Structure 1
Amino acid sequence: MFLSALLVALLAIVSQWWFFAPATRTMTYPLTTGLLVGIFMGQPMLGMLAGAQIQLVYLGWINTGGVMPSNTMVAGIFGTALTILSGANPKLAVTFAVPFSLIGLLMVNAYETINSFWVHRADAALERGNVKAIRFWNYVPSFFTAAVLYGIPAFCMVMFGQGWAKSLLKAIPKDLTTALEVVGAIMPAMGIAMLLNYLGKKSLMPYFFIGFFLTAYLNLQTMAIAIFAGLLAYLIFLNDSKKGQKVEAAAPKKKVRRLTLENRTGKVAEVTPAAPQNASDLNAVEPTIEYKNKLTHKDLVKTWLWEQSDEVCYNYERMQALGLTNMMIEPIRKLYPNDEKRQAEELKKYMVFFNTEPHMIGPVIHGVALSMEEARANGAAISAEDINGVRTGLMGPAAGIGDTVQQGILFPILASIGCSMALEKNYFGPIFFTVVFLVIIYAIGYWLFMYGYKTGRKSVLDILKTGILDKVTKAFSIVGLMVVGTMAATKVAVKCPIVWHVGQSTVKVQALLNQLAPCLLPLGITMLVWYLLRKKVNATWIIIGIFVLGIICSYAGILGLA
């Protein structure tokens, strides 16, 4: 048990201490951590089933701007561990996980508050010209903070909790256990409704109902719906692109003057000033310069790898600042060799507040910053304020696009498929989700990082202006809504067991509902939760309401497990 407790504790630590994103990114999701907890505790099947049940509740919990509505890391790891310790039915995992997720909010608040202290220690180190200390303040104190807040509680629960966990389960009456299973069957409606609240534009909502009724009437599997939705979205994307090309062709062309700067290859590259002070600045031509200090492809790859720990010391005061300063150490050393004081001075510009989607779209900003940093080191008239002005200007658009595509569309599509496989006792479900999700995110992130470096901010802004990303987002939203419709039809697994006896005939309420439309009750519950979210009812109160009403309706015989 000691080894199991130690491994679960380490998993709990890295679920918050994001030391290398490709290894830790999916540790925030119960679908992945549930299987790992199960393996560590010798119950892989139970762990996977519990993790999948918990994940369904959090399909729509999207963390944006550093705001975490619920701690899914704690919910997945602690909820799964308690399910295994007690030997409970996986359907009860949700009732264990939700309280842990709310307690976990205090843990993440403490973690991000304490990390603010290490940022000030890093400031002091740069003032002394000590560049090496940045690595220490980024990684070491934040690890021990995560160990105390996450690791020790997880270790103690697994090491010493089996006895009281089983006693707790035995103390719950059978009727209450059944009622809690009903609550667990209703809870996926919360995650689905949150996704609808995030993606559900009026023009796109019909795709949710298409996915729902395709599954309800034809019993199509999630993968089949995803393939069908993908082909449909592709056709719509092509049609929108053709319309956009016609509009663009009809629009008059505008001539734009740009500054020029000889780039790394000796060719003339375009450089757009951040904010021209007067009209004469537009007519200025930057003198040709020769790049004496250049960044190689190897340097760029190293920088991209260091960027994967930009949230290891994530904190409320400056968010990703310390991690990005840590990322820039290698290129700054290369551009300003043998001058540690100058290196420290250049790194100071990155110790300001910065927060964006870090791994899929956000890397393009760091590529652009590297390009400007290289030009600055070789004599170009680029100030520290220019670099930070560009970073700040791109921060918002990258966050909006990245969070929407990654958390609001890509994740629920893949997680829905993975959960469906996992609940059918297929180990490939969590593996499929984890591998495909990571490959897509980091392949796009790497490409955009290199693209930003090679083309600079001008090309990035041009992409944003073309509207191509809006069309791509719409296409992915269609796929996401249809897949979510499938989940509403299959994972909100409740029925109405009421039977009326009229004379010698028997009327089953569920049969009447099925005659109107299959899965009508799950759809109604999902729509009700979505309505409450749209009315700005706090998600925590909705969860409490699901617990209370689920238990009452179970005892009253109004709701039962499908």
Structure 2
Amino acid sequence: MLLSAILVAFLAIISQWWFFAPITRCMTYPLTTGIIVGIFMGHPMLGMLAGANIQLVYLGWINAGGVMPSNTMVAGIYGTALTILSGANPKLAVTFAIPFSLLGLLMVQIYQTLNSFWVHRADQELDKGNVNAIRWLNYLPSFIVAFVVYGIPAFCLVLFGKNWATALINAIPKELTTALEVVGGLMPALGIAMLLNYLGKRSLNAYFIIGFFLAVYLKLDIMAIAIFSAAIAFLVFMSQTNKKSTSSTPSKKKVKRLTLNNRTGVDEEPLPTSNFNQQNDTIDSANYKRKLSHKDLVKTWLWEQSDEAAYNYERLQALGLTNMMIHPIKKLYDDPQKQALELKKYMVFFNTEPHMVGPIIHGVALSMEEARANGQNVSEDDINGVRTGLMGPAAGIGDTVQQGIFFPILASVGASLALSGNYLGPVLFTVVFELVIYTIGYLLFMFGYNKGKSSVVQILKNGVIDKVTNAFSIVGLMVVGSMAATRIAVRSPLVWEVGKSTMKLQSILNQLAPGLIPLGVTLLIWWLVAKKVNPTWIILGIFFFGILLSYLNVLGVVS
């Protein structure tokens, strides 16, 4: 058990200490960490089932703009560990995970607050010309904080928690255990509803209903629905692309810019120009005396994967991005004092989606740095103006596509496979998800470097993002519809006598349409989410009404 405690503690540490994103990215998801905790604790199947059940609750929880609505890392790791320690039904994993996720919000606040101190230390070291100090300041202090805040509690839970966890389960009455299973069956409706609120558009919401009733009536599994929805999305995308515009070309080209608050895009003025942007088409970079090689670019992209190791409330990704720029700045400038001076401009507040779309900004910044090092008229204000001006649009697109579309589609398929006992579920989710986002991120990083600032405008204009987002939204809505039909695992056992006849509520509902209870629960919670009801209150409501309706024999679990 000591080895298990050490391994789970290390997993808990790296779930928050994002020292290298390709390793740590999926440690934020219970679907991935559940099976890992299970392997570490000798119960891989129970760990996978617990993690998949927990993941369903958090399908629609989007961490954007430095705001974390719930700590899914703690929920997945601690909730799975407690489920294994107690030997509980994996359906109860949700009821264990949610209190931990709320406690985890305090943990992340401590972590990101303490990391703010290292930023000021980094300022001081750059003032001294000590560039190399940025490296250890980005990694070591944040590791220590993650070790104390995340690692030690996880270690103690696994090493010392078995007796009290087992006693806790044994102390719960059978009726309450059944009621908590009902709560676990209802809880995925919250994740699905939050996702629908994010994906949903009036013109596309019907695809959710289509996906739901394909699963209910035709009994199609989630993979079949995913393939079917992808074909529909492709046809819709091609139809929209081939339409000829009937409106005349405006005299001044505007840019469709996607934001988190408006996924469909709004007409805005083009991004502001800079001296670099004006000269970009006339500068012959082949004549540069100082030039970054392809190997330098690859190294910089790899260093960029540590941009959130010391993530903090004050400047968010600043310290990590300064660490990223050490290698190219050293290649462009020989004088250590000059290197430190150039790095200072990156020690400002910065935050964007870091892995998939955000890297294009860093590629643009590198092309501007290279021009600046070769005597072109590119100022510090030009570089930071472009960086800060683009971080919002890149975050809007990146978070929307990555967390709001790619993740829920892949996680829904992975969780469905996992809950059927297939180990490929979490494995395929993790591998495919990371392969997609990091391949796109690498290509956009290189594209940003090669094309400069104009590359971002090319991506944002002409409404292409709208069409692509709509296509993926169709897939997401249909997949989520099938999840609502199959993973909100509640039914009604209510029976009453009318004369000499026995009436069963579930049979009556099935005659109207199968799956009406899961559909009704989903639509109700979706309405609450759309009305901006705090998710914490919704969780408490699910606990209260789930337990109450179970005791009243109105709701029961699907066996």
TM-aligned CA deviation for residue 368 of structure 1: 0.4
C-alpha separation in 2, matches of 1:187 and 1:255 = 47
Q: Distance in 2 between matches of 1:191 and 1:361?
A: 25
- Is 2:310 the partner of 1:313? yes
Partner amino acid for 1:297?
A: H
1:377 to 369, 373, 376: 373
Q: Deviations over 1:305-341 (max 9, x none)?
A: 000000000000000000000000000000002x110
Q: 1:42 to 1:517 in 2, by over 3 A?
A: same
| CA distance in structure 2 between the partners assigned to 1:255 and 1:530 by the alignment | 38
2:21 matched residue in structure 1: 21
Q: Which residue of 2 aligns with 1:263?
A: none
Amino acid of the residue matched to residue 377 of structure 1?
Answer: A
SS at match of 2:345: helix
1:283–1:164 Cα change, 3 Å: closer
Counterpart mapping for 1:416-455 below 5 A: 416-455=412-451
Matching of residues 153-302 of structure 1 within 5 Å? 153-243=153-243, 246=245, 251=249, 274-275=273-274, 290-302=287-299
Residue-by-residue CA offset, 1:112-161 (whole Å, 9 max, x unaligned):
00000000000100000000000011000000000000000000000011
Q: Distance in 2 between matches of 1:130 and 1:477?
A: 48
Contact 2:216–2:514 (8 Å) recurs in 1: yes
Cα gap change, 1:255/1:189 in structure 2, threshold over 3 Å: closer, same or farther?
Answer: closer
**Kept in 1: contact 2:38–2:47 (CA 8 A):** yes
Q: Does 2:478 correspond to 1:479?
A: no
Q: CA shift at 1:501, angstroms? A: 1.1
Q: What is aligned with 2:85?
A: 85
Structure-2 change in CA distance of 1:424 and 1:383 (3 Å): same
Q: Which position in structure 2 is the counterpart of 1:147?
A: 147
Partners of 2:303 and 2:435 in 1: CA distance = 18
- Alignment-mate amino acid for residue 510 of structure 1: Q
Pairwise CA distance, 1:505 = 1.1
Going from structure 1 to structure 2, the CA distance change for 1:273 and 1:157 (only over 3 Å counts) comes to: closer
CA-CA distance at 1:200 after TM superposition: 1.1
CA displacement at 1:463 relative to structure 2: 2.1
1:56: which partner in 2?
Answer: 56
In structure 2, C-alpha distance between the alignment counterparts of 1:283 and 1:31, rounded to whole Å: 48
Q: What residue is the counterpart of 2:456 in the other structure?
A: 460
Higher mean C-alpha deviation, range 12-21 or range 531-540: 531-540
* Equivalent-residue separation in structure 1 for 2:250 and 2:428 (angstroms): 48
Q: Residue in 2 aligned with 1:366?
A: 362
- CA distance, structure 2, for counterparts of residue 558 and residue 492 of structure 1: 15
Name the residue aligned to 1:322.
319
Give the Cα separation in 2 of the matches to 1:283 and 1:204: 43
Measure the CA separation in 2 of the matches of 1:73 and 1:416.
18
C-alpha distance in 1, partners of 2:500/2:280? 95
* Cα distance between partner residues in 1 of 2:483 and 2:151: 33
Q: 1:51 & 1:372 partners in 2: Cα distance?
A: 44
Q: For residues 273-302 of structure 1, give each alpha carbon's deviation from its aligned partner in whole angstroms, at most 9, with x where no partner exists.
A: 83479xxx9799978773001000000000
Aligned-partner residue type, residue 388 of structure 1: N
Contact between 2:307 and 2:320, CA under 8 Å: does it hold in 1? yes
Amino acid at match of 1:61: W
Deviation at 1:172, TM superposition (A): 0.5
Instruction: Check conservation: 1:274, 1:389, Cα contact below 8 A.
Output: no
Counterpart-to-counterpart distance in 1, 2:118 and 2:463: 40
| CA distance in 2: counterparts of 1:542 and 1:287, whole angstroms | 57
Separation (CA, whole Å) in 1 of partners of 2:166 and 2:109: 31
| Shift of residue 516, structure 1, vs aligned partner | 0.9
Structure 1 residues 227-261: Cα deviation after superposition (integer angstroms, max 9, x where no partner): 01111101111111112x5458x5278799xxxxx
Q: What residue identity is the alignment partner of 1:216?
A: V
- Residues 448 and 276 of structure 1: is their aligned pair in 2 closer, same or farther, counting only changes over 3 Å? closer
What is the CA–CA distance in structure 2 between the aligned matches of 1:73 and 1:136, rounded to whole Å? 25
Aligned counterpart in structure 2 of residue 397 of structure 1, from 390, 393, 399: 393
Q: 1:50 offset after TM fit, Å?
A: 0.3
Kindly indicate whether the alpha-carbon contact (under 8 Å) linking 1:62 and 1:408 is maintained by their aligned counterparts in 2.
yes
Give the Å deviation of 1:3. Answer: 0.4
Say which SS state the counterpart of residue 350 (structure 1) adopts.
Answer: coil
Partner in structure 1 of residue 75 of structure 2: 75
Question: Would the alpha carbon gap of residues 252 and 535 (structure 1) be closer, same or farther in structure 2, given more than 3 Å must change?
Answer: closer
Q: Deviations over 1:438-497 (max 9, x none)?
A: 000000000000000001111221221121111111111110011000000000010111
Distance in 2 between residues matched to 1:329 and 1:421, nearest whole Å: 43
SS across alignment from 1:328: helix
| Distance of aligned partners of 1:123 and 1:215 in 2 relative to their CA distance in 1, 3 Å threshold | same
**Using a 3 Å threshold, how does the CA distance of structure 1 residues 161 and 468 change in structure 2: closer, same or farther?**
same
| TM-score normalised by L of structure 2 | 0.94
After superposition, the C-alpha distances for 1:389-428 in whole angstroms (9 at most, x for unaligned) are 1111110110000001000110000000000100010000
Inter-partner Cα distance in structure 1 for 2:246 and 2:538: 45
Give percent identity, aligned residues only: 70
Q: Return the alpha-carbon distance in structure 2 between the equivalents of residues 533 and 14 of structure 1.
A: 31
Q: How many residues align?
A: 541
Correspondence 1:357 to 2:353: yes
Q: Name structure 1 gaps, 5 residues minimum.
A: 257-271
Identify the residue that residue 133 of structure 1 maps to in structure 2.
133
